[in-house]
Structure 1
């Protein structure tokens, strides 16, 4: 792993490439505490803040960790972040260097807050998040195409090869989700670029109610309902609220589409459980609670699949 001092120097050199920042006297410091469980905050890349000593202006810098290559296409993620910047639905991007894994952005700090489950109870906020995702979906295809079921197979193979720690019912969960994948395979889908990560901590909300989406590392081309499903499974622990958001997002209630959306959310839990298990086994950052995060996602997936309604969802897609 790159040393703390070397990473700080890397941040300084990339900030100097931003117009108007080359000759400034800077304070470079970590921007926030990194936490894998429960919110996967700052895990994909080290978060830094570069502050101008004279003016107090600041930039946010993300330096991708080397082990991110286990589960992230950095070039695709950086392209998605740049698109979001141009659309005004993500922070403004000043530097996106995929070769070094450094992303320099505007610092949405003062006057902005991270999304929480409590904030997701506000329909206007949820609708603003969904609208931002829809705007992104209107763009041209991204370099990476990978639906959730393909990624589940990829990460399952990876964790089995290294004998990673997995729950006792993992093979059963895989069998059930493969059954669901086979049912969904017969449904015609028009793929689009999606954000790909429903974690509500990837939503920034201003005091004025503006919304910005961050962490575009999971972006790729997939069914737009997959994007909605990953959000609903994270934002709502009860189906009625998820159903209400689905109706507002789609303009009506289509049972088969809603069932697909919910299945995508359940599959997203399995995918992220496998990612957490993979990092728990292979990442040198062994102080992070990767398996604790994985255990929660595995548990929520297992609970959803054991529900009698899961079979009905699959049957009526």
Structure 2
């Protein structure tokens, strides 16, 4: 039934990406017409800046989902690695050295995720969930003393990464565009990118065809952690601090949401950067509108949860699960 429904939708050239983009445009027009202050320059700048950081994280999440996995540790990795970097910088460590330490931490987390999933064969859902808890607990006990760690006052030029502008366009927006372009080239134009699609579509066939499936699984989680670190740098330099408690927030579900609702198939091997951009656009507009309407945060979470549930149901219809997926235990 699900497979036939998926073929029916495809026969009429419907796609989740097109539907979501249309909804985003309609929602933007409705909010512009009904919400006071929605079209103000400050609000729109705040919208695109927050959407950009969410989009960068969404690219990292999409990379793992396309490869038939998921990374629930990306937010904890981002928060702790960047908060530790700022802690070191505030204690007298040169900023460049502190940056290197933070980078090494996030790469170590990505490597550990990849090894656990690829070689120990722990399902990605459980491995990355546990790793996120370990990173946050270890980081708060040994590395980061405070919930909020502020940017050193002397790091003026470093702050420009997230707070500066080029031709009036906020740097986070430009960085999101740059990351989107680089990720597109990586996934579509390079051999490792094609390997990720192949092993996401059918890992056994990919292995028979000569794809180094296990090493590529490690690579995709290392890249995901690296993207999380970069997103954390953008966040910290935009607000001059990093709040480690963001690891316990619903941000990771927002990241999954922007990937899945845009059309990245949870069964693996389907989707791309464009799907993340479209999903990010819709969720960013929706969250901004609900904030202006002063909808309580709890209600916003309910709305997002319902949207995620609908997106997963739609994904199961358009991208039916196969026997390989059920054996892997993927969501």
* TM-score, L = length of structure 2: 0.26
Higher RCO (C-alpha under 8 Å, 6+ residues apart): 2
Point out the structure with the larger strand share.
1
